[in-house]
A and B are shown apart, each in its own frame.
Chain A
Amino acid sequence: SYGLPQPPSLSVSPGQTARITCSADALPKQYAYWYQQKPGQAPVLVIYKDSERPSGIPERFSGSSSGTTVTLTISGVQAEDEADYYCQSADSSGAWVFGGGTKLTVL
């Protein structure tokens, strides 16, 4: 098993770009996924397979990967993007692993 370190918090002004990183030594072998969670709600998948965006997710959400780091980018942040964001992957046994979460604050 391995951990997925994420920054605990990030603050950006509306219209700016937010970048949230997630690192793991096993990421080159497994895809990463990103979830958005607003208070009192279930998580919502916003990026799958490192960089794919599910239908219904705004184009301002994008994902990328480089070596052992994956990044969720929100371009032109809006007030409604204020939420907790979690990265997730899986180890070689199929066990899921979540990052600790990043609280995005829109100033």
Chain B
Amino acid sequence: AQSVAQPEDQVNVAEGNPLTVKCTYSVSGNPYLFWYVQYPNRGLQFLLKYITGDNLVKGSYGFEAEFNKSQTSFHLKKPSALVSDSALYFCAVRDDSSASKIIFGSGTRLSIRP
């Protein structure tokens, strides 16, 4: 069975500093990994995904994520945080034995202070 863990409920960062939002996963086959962002009263917006290839994936709004197979992690990063990055971030996983559902983590609230 596939699962995702986001160990931090909240991450607080000063504007201009680098940010990291952590995610670890467990799948039986090869993982397909996703990050989504959710702003208040809105649906989920796709940020980036890892399927295969380079371990460093670049996505929307300057975000990137690094796939680490040995640590089963897919942490979300940004070199310089903006106040507008404040939102709820979800990591998700799907394995290659399932063409259907993706499983989401519990979410990490990112708060960027001016």
A binds B: no
- Interface of B with A (CB < 8 Å)? none
